[in-house]
Amino acid sequence: YAVEATSMAKHARRLAAANGVGDVVVVLEGYMEQVTLPEQVDVIVSEWMGYFLLRESMLDPVIAARDKWLKPNGALFPSSASIYLAPLCSSLYAPKLREFEREVSGWSHFKDFMGRENGVDISVLDAEWQQEQRDYLLHSCLWQLIDPAEVVGEAARLLHFETATVTQADVATVTRPFELTISSDSE
């Protein structure tokens, strides 16, 4: 059985048929937590990884599917997962910082304009507006391939789990002490 939450299920059916397994692979459209299978399964394969592994919370449905539908001694793929954190020296942050600085400058000009031309003081919104821009531009996730040369120290493993045994409680909050050392030969 293949379970797909989106209309991509129709394409999966077409792919299965085009590759001669349309009579073997049954594709169901729906959420894994809501579908009913006629039997337990031998294997669960899922691409559930989000930003920093857990951000999109797609592991929860896999755990629910495992507990409900996987046969004893069945297999899950991926079978394990880890989160590592490493120091990075990259040019990725600089454009975001420049954009933040442009936005702050633009807000300042807008604030001056509103006061001068309309007699409206919007400065009471300064702190909240800047925090919103900071959160959006500087503190949000960034998906980017990095060059291995940009990693400037050893990685620390923050979390490791086996998908066969992990619980939602195990990953609900991840708190670990860690130490990172920047290599002396990095620029």
Catalytic residues: 47, 56
- Which amino acid belongs to residue 138? L
* 13 in Cβ contact with 43 (< 8 Å): no
Cβ within 8 Å of residue 123, ≥6 positions away: 111, 115
* 103 in Cβ contact with 134 (< 8 Å): no
Distances, alpha carbon 116 to alpha carbons 100, 107, 112, 121, in Å: 24, 14, 6, 9
Q: Quick one: tokens of 112? A: 């001056």
